[in-house]
Homo-oligomer: A and B are copies of this chain.
């Protein structure tokens, strides 16, 4: 061993002991005839003192940043202590040293506030990983994984590995495929998730399965997606939705305790998908703050259960509202005094292409009880007051209203709400609020093919009360314009998402375990019987041999770690991430392959 101790552990109690340390040179500070060096390793930083007699040797063998150094010496009390670091009370009086390896000057500084840009740090990821900020992230990731494994172990879950070389069954996302040399002309696919395998394990009787496992999706990378990502993948047999919710609430509470030392004891709120869309315009709402949506107008079919309040804006001859499908308001607390410049900026914000609104209406609820709005021409003070009441606004609030097509407007209102929440500091990094979103629609309508697609995935069961609706109706949509009247449009899924601070961290469902129902589902998705057999024959077959009721959940491990680490970017929590073109900048992959490899695989390029 090149060291007797790490750079993070020596304390006053070790004074006068002889020790050997090894690590990286963080800084070299020369003061006349003595030199201080901060030596860094994974565990911390220890100050080294090179006295006069060693200085001559040092001059001949100058130390540079990031040199790998081994020193032997005596632990001494420091004259000026540093309370900011664990080893701040002591230093090492160096007796001898060895330069184990040299370093050329790094392309950026190895510090929390590095001067390296994103690209440079990705290319030299092995140096970026030395920075404390990144090290903390990977340590947190390891702690989350460890906590997860311990909790699941204590609850009788078994880690069972599922294969990576499987079969391509493109449903939803695109598969990465792997040409088979031994079976020329055929391909494996990399799993988008171990979904069917974990279900087979349930059929096999392994009633509590988990895996922390890599998954692969060949998608165009939107911001903060990775072609390979990690899931905490779980499945249980003989359970209903409530059992799953409780088991995995327990997991997340345990992670909070183990990793953040937070006792998350409060009840975890549950909300239907419909309520989430109605109240927050979003199926993964951040419920740490209010500013709920006030739905001034909306197409009745989308929220048939909700009460309409059209009289508030009707009959004022304000064309923007009159012609809009949907009008949504939010009351921003304490912003009635926003200047013209500030409201103009908000208008510009909603007009950006990412939001796509045509404009923004505002009503200031003045402290004196009066109202001032951008639509004073159309609405009387009484009308404005009624809107303010509906929007739950109080004196001092600023009401913001967007109008337009249903989906876009609701999303815009949600985005605006989140933006104002962030602006007003209502989304505190150290405040965590969990939420279950339940009762999703089972199907979505795919206009291009005039058919149903599974909102979650084709293995999700309908609610028990909706099974007969699914079985007893033809999934075919005869009248495309009236698809919402098809009985399938109202079938609810036995599915659940766990949301943390406005991010979906996990999602799952109770699965279909009856062959006939699974076939009906495949048929609803437009799959012929031959296709069903080719792609999922093994699963349909397995369901014939005593499949138990089962369900499960998968957590996005990268995302969960990022949120717990107070970051919005998963890339910071992955040791070797890829960039937005799916490239590993450090190793320069993907890359070309040899002619011999093409020959052996019996494939060739067919570049357009």
Q: Contact residues of A with B, CB < 8 Å?
A: 1-3, 22-25, 40-42, 66-68, 70, 100-104, 106, 124-127, 129-130, 135, 138-139, 142, 145-146, 149, 153, 158-168, 170, 174-190, 196-197, 200-201, 203-207, 214, 216, 218, 220-221, 227-228, 230, 238-240, 243, 513-514, 534, 537-538, 542-549, 574-576, 578, 581-584, 586-594, 597-598, 600-608
Chain B residues lying within 8 Å of A537, measured Cβ to Cβ, are 588
Other than the given A2-B240, A42-B207, A162-B576, 10 more pairs (CB < 8 A) read A1-B243, A66-B546, A100-B548, A101-B514, A102-B546, A104-B545, A126-B203, A129-B200, A186-B592, A602-B607
From B104, B201, B605, give the contact of A185 (CB < 8 A).
B605
B207 x A168 contact (CB < 8 A)? no
The answer on a CB contact under 8 Å between A170 and B597 is yes
- Cβ distance A514 to chain B, nearest Cβ, rounded Å: 7
Chain B residue nearest to A188 in the complex (CB): B590
Say yes or no: B101 contacts A591, CB within 8 Å.
Answer: no
User: When the two chains form their complex, are residues B181 and A174 in contact, meaning their CB atoms are under 8 A apart?
Assistant: yes
> A170 to B3, alpha carbons, bound, how many Å?
36
A606 close to B597 (CB less than 8 A)? no
Known: A145-B159, A549-B2. A187 touches B602 (CB 8 A): no
Assess A205 versus B238: contact at CB under 8 Å? Given A165-B584, A597-B168: no
CB distance from A585 to the nearest CB of B (A): 10
Q: List 15 A-B contacts (CB under 8 A).
A: A1-B243, A2-B240, A22-B548, A101-B514, A101-B546, A102-B546, A126-B203, A129-B206, A161-B575, A163-B228, A165-B176, A165-B578, A168-B594, A174-B181, A188-B589
Nearest CB in chain B to that of A167: its residue: B589
Partner of A101, one of B70, B547, B575: B547
- Which residue of chain B has the shortest Cβ distance to A184 in the bound complex? B607
Q: Tell whether, in the assembled complex, residue A167 and residue B587 are in contact, meaning their CB atoms are under 8 Å apart.
A: yes
Taken together as a complex, chains A and B put the C-alpha atoms of A160 and B149 apart, in Å, by 15
Question: How far apart sit A135 and B205, CA to CA, in the bound complex (Å)?
Answer: 9
Could you say which residues of chain B place their CB within 8 Å of the CB of A149?
Answer: 146, 149
CA distance A537 to B588 in the complex (A): 9
Given the complex, which residues of B lie within 8 Å of A548, measured CB to CB? Answer: 2, 22, 24, 68, 100-101
CB distance B181 to A129 under 8 Å? Answer: no
Taking a contact as CB atoms under 8 Å apart, the answer to whether B167 and A204 are in contact is no
Would A544 and B104 be within 8 Å (CB), given that A181-B174, A604-B603, A607-B602 are in contact?
A: yes
Which residue of A25, A124, A575 has the most chain B CB atoms within 10 A of its CB atom?
A575
CA–CA, A218 to B214, complex, Å?
Answer: 20
Given B22, B582, B594, which contacts A180 in the complex, CB threshold below 8 Å? B582
- Are B238 and A584 interface neighbours, CB within 8 A? no
Which of B185, B542, B601 is within 8 Å of A592, CB to CB?
Answer: B185
Q: A230-B161, A582-B183 are in contact. Are A238 and B204 (CB under 8 A)?
A: no
Beyond A177-B179, A201-B575, whether A168 also contacts B591 by CB under 8 A is yes
Collect the chain B residues with CB atoms within 8 Å of residue A164's CB: 164, 190, 214, 216, 228
A547–B104 alpha-carbon span in the complex (Å): 11
Complex Cα gap A591–B178 (Å): 10
**A129 CA / B158 CA spacing, docked (Å):** 14
Could you say which residues of chain B place their CB within 8 Å of the CB of A197? 575-576
The answer to whether residues A178 and B176 also contact, given A201-B575, A546-B103, A604-B606 and a CB cut-off of 8 A, is yes
A214 — which chain B residues lie within 8 A by C-beta?
Answer: 161, 164
**Contact between A166 and B205, CB atoms less than 8 A apart:** no
A225 CB, min distance to chain B CBs, angstroms: 12
Minimal Cβ-Cβ distance residue in B for A21: B238
Contact A602 B602 (CB under 8 A): no
- Please judge, given known A-B contacts A101-B548, A545-B127, whether A589 and B177 are in contact too, CB under 8 Å: no
